[in-house]
Amino acid sequence: MPSKKENMDDIPIEEDVPKNNFEQFPLDSTNNVKPNEVTKDVFNTIKGHNLLGWCVGLLVIVYLIETFNNKGGVSPVGESFIEIIKLLIFSLTGYLFGTNSSNKE
């Protein structure tokens, strides 16, 4: 049985050679690229407000489900989940307002 090294030597080496024939595809000088219309800070703020809305909506939905399932009360698991969502909401609002106020200076 032949060894693996002998089989490897039979494989040809593939080389990437770039084509330098630019005459076939001329460059269009009228093609203008738009600059970024939204900066990274604005994009992060938009994402943060979107996440904030989802957290508030999730908080309301969980609270309503817990209230209807437990006849006006909230279970211990629901209370823990609501506390975690409240922590996320308050942390996110602090981050959003803190980053926005530092950019105005």
Q: What is the pLDDT of residues 68-104, one digit of tens each?
A: 998 888 888 989 999 999 999 999 888 888 875 555 5
Residues with Cβ within 8 Å of residue 65, at least 6 apart in sequence: 78
d(C-alpha 43, C-alpha 61), whole Å? 27
Q: Sign of the CA dihedral 77, 80, 86, 91?
A: negative
88 lies in which domain range? 39-99
This prediction has a pTM of 0.56
The answer to whether residue 14 is domain-embedded is no
Counted domains in the chain: 1
The answer to whether residue 32 is domain-embedded is no
Q: What is the pLDDT of residues 53-71, one digit of tens each?
A: 999 999 999 999 999 998 8
pLDDT at position 15, please?
Answer: 73
